[in-house]
Chains A and B, each alone.
Chain A
Amino acid sequence: MKPVYLDNNATTMSAPEVVAEMLPYLSEFYGNPSSMHSFGGRVGLRLKQARSDIAGTLGCQPDEIIFNSCGSEGDNTAILSALAAQPDKRHIVTTRVEHPAVLSLARHLEEKGYEVTYLGVDEKGRLDMAELGQAIRKDTAIVSIMYANNETGVIFPLPEIAALCKARGVLLHTDAVQAVGKIDIDLAKLPVSMLSLSGHKLHAPKGVGVLYVRKGTPFRPFLIGGHQERGRRAGTENAAGIIALAKAMTLAKEHMVAENTQVKALRDRLEAGILAAIPHSLVNGDTEHRLPNTSSIAFKFVEGEAILLMLDQYGICASSGSACTSGSLEPSHVLRAMGVPFTYAHGSIRFSLSRYTTDAEIDLVLEKLPGIIETLRRMSPFRDEEAAKPACTC
């Protein structure tokens, strides 16, 4: 059974064009790009081209690109570099809704004696810019704020945040793993100091990413060894992965309009269909400023893992902010930061589409989901209690 894949914020299918582009570099052209011989050298030249293509899609210079292995590496490198380069500054500003790559690192740094300010969000998952302004101090080494949230798709106002950080003279890193490829980002106009992105979220394979470091930003490497990436990230280049990433980013640029029209239309149809067919359901997050492919929907009285497993029966892949799916016992930190009530948080499902999502797939979800929720609600001890109460008009 071909999966109905609506979990593209977790990972994506490598585009066929991307796979075709990278394959020769896994077989025929296996030379080391750093070698003196022309067999390796030709790989080096191809990497140079890839670097330049990627810089072109982001609006930056090729030498501002550092290739690495994943988004988590970019996040870690950016924050640790800022601290290492400014040893007198021991304060970090971030948000409560970041990816664990940033949050777990921040907590680890707190244990090491650094101070961290975690900015809260409102019920729609939005930041308070005034709070950010107040949080920045003289000893703030770096502000790290995600571009778009992986669970809700809520987009933070990065242009505003970047302008503020620039004015206050503080480094800004953005985890743009969910944003790159889905919304247009032009680093020529967006004054962030550093930006992390990951290949497998935009139809390149897993194991390749980029940390963008703006020229003039103090930098200390995370991985020390060889001279690769001009000494900023040691390790023989993932040549095939980098070539794949360049192709994927070029394709994403070409599909940017479609992503924000066709994919968005499918997402909106899915969302509207679900809300219309299923009572006691609501959308998590700010629908005004949201990725075009993401929809996080909460279903009252039921639990997320149970919904996912029933969807799985039909080959439908989605994900959940529920505690039971993560192995932890608490529901998603993002939904909790937004103050989503427990009655909804435990039953939240995230659908994330891609340009490969079809109308038929959306139809299948709309056909199966209402029955699944109804089945689970019939089992739930809470529905009877709620039904007994007068309907809420709010």
Chain B
Amino acid sequence: MWEYTDKVRDHFLNPRNVGSLDDANAVGEVGSLACGDALKLFLKINDAGVIEDARFQTFGCASAIASSSVLTELLKGKTIEEARALTNKDIADDLGGLPKEKMHCSVMGQEALEAALADYLGEKAPAHEPEGELVCKCFGVYDGQIRRAIRENKLTTVEEVTDFTKAGGGCGDCLEKLAGILAEELGQAAAKPLVELQVKRPMTNLERVKLVTKIMEEEIRPALKKDGGDIELVDIDGTTVFVSLRGACKGCPSSNLTLTEFVQKRLQELVEPGITVKEAK
């Protein structure tokens, strides 16, 4: 069961301003049936640039409906400039908060508002349209949306990014990319947040395997190759990485040192402190 505030329940059970608006001069539409939630926002803006009326149509869960409902309430009487300043946080705060997994419902409200204002001003590309590259293919979330959610809501973990934008909530293929974007936004080196990510939540085997493979290919092998050696990743069992040394490394008297002082140390730094590297028999 979700823990909704009384205000969420009230706006869900008695939504304000439901329906379309025939004389709307600003319409914003976001989401889709496939995504599981969608919002169509209708605004009537007068010549003085004040929002006279606001209506909505929403497909979605209780928090999506409640977010849409309070959004229309918040918008009525506001100027375009004031409306522009409205963020998803304002929507969530007005509801007395949303469960963290439902924060994306408030983001949907903000995006619909931006789309409606862009529609009114005759801007070609509504704000929710592709900004940067498509990051999450499951839910169609773009780089720009993710970065803004991180900035405006001061997000610090990948999990939070998923709660706010839905990105990464499907197949999970983009989680690594999300970690990279998060790292950039937080102003850290690209490799570091991967370590941070696993502090927040234990790494899954799949993530560990992917990351170890990546670091072996991109960093460790090129380094060994410089000295005429090479290394092959044989197996990963839990936190134990089995490798096989090749080329000049094979039979080299300092190969043990290479394994513990270079390969293992690097993997411990970049993947997980608990990693041990062993030579496959």
Contacts and interface: CB of A to CB of B under 8 A. Distances in A.
Interface in A8-28: none
Nearest to B19: A378
A304 B33 CA distance: 12
B118 interface: no
Contacts of B209: 111
A328 B38 CA distance: 17
A3 interface: no
Contact of A379 (B57, B162, B205, B235): B57
Contact of A331 (B36, B59, B166): B36
A309 interface: yes
B60 A306 contact: yes
B74 interface: no
B138 interface: yes
Q: How large is the interface on B (under 10, 10 to 19, 20 to 34, 35 or more residues)?
A: 35 or more
Given A303-B60, A324-B36, A381-B57, A309 B12 contact: yes
A343 B38 CA distance: 12
B18 interface: yes
A306 B38 contact: no
B18 A382 contact: no
Contact of B62 (A305, A323, A381, A384): A305
B13 interface: yes
Chain A at the B interface: SS class: helix
A310 B13 contact: yes
Nearest to A320: B61
B251 to A, nearest CB: 29
Contact of B59 (A325, A328, A330, A382): A382
Contact of A380 (B2, B58, B206): B58
A313 interface: yes
Contacts of B138: 329-330
B54 interface: no
A380 B235 CA distance: 51
B232 interface: no
A380 B62 contact: no
B15 interface: yes
Interface string A290-314: 0000000000011111100110010
Interface in A138-184: none
A112 B209 CA distance: 11
B59 A381 contact: yes
Contacts of B61: 303-306, 322, 324-325
A327 interface: yes
Give the interface size class of chain A.
20 to 34
A342 interface: yes
B29 interface: yes
B57 A306 contact: no
Contacts of B15: 379
A381 B18 contact: no
Given A329-B169, A330-B169, A384-B20, A306 B36 contact: no
Contacts of A342: 33-34, 36
B37 interface: yes
Interface string A32-69: 00000000000000000000000000000000000000
A90 interface: no
A330 B58 contact: no
Contacts of B33: 342-343, 346, 382
B142 interface: no
Contacts of A380: 57-59
A379 B13 contact: no
A309 B139 CA distance: 25
Contacts of B169: 328-330
Contacts of B13: 310, 313
Interface string B5-34: 000000011010011100000000100011
Contacts of A303: 36-37, 59-61, 64
A17 B209 CA distance: 52
B170 interface: yes
Most chain A Cβ neighbours within 10 Å, of B34, B58, B60, B237: B60
A112 B237 CA distance: 7
B146 interface: no
Interface in B135-179: 138-139, 162, 166, 169-170
Contacts of A324: 36-37, 60-61
Given A111-B206, A309-B12, A381-B29, A323 B59 contact: no
Contacts of A329: 36, 138-139, 162, 166, 169-170
Nearest to A326: B101
B44 interface: no
A331 B36 CA distance: 8
A379 B58 contact: yes
B40 interface: yes
A378 B101 contact: no
B39 interface: yes
Nearest to B34: A342
A150 to B, nearest CB: 19
A381 B58 contact: yes
Interface of A: 108, 111-113, 301-306, 309-310, 313, 322-325, 327-331, 342-343, 346, 378-382, 384
Given A113-B235, A328-B169, A329-B138, 14 more contacts: A108-B205, A302-B59, A305-B61, A309-B62, A329-B36, A329-B170, A331-B36, A342-B33, A378-B18, A378-B19, A379-B58, A381-B29, A381-B39, A381-B40
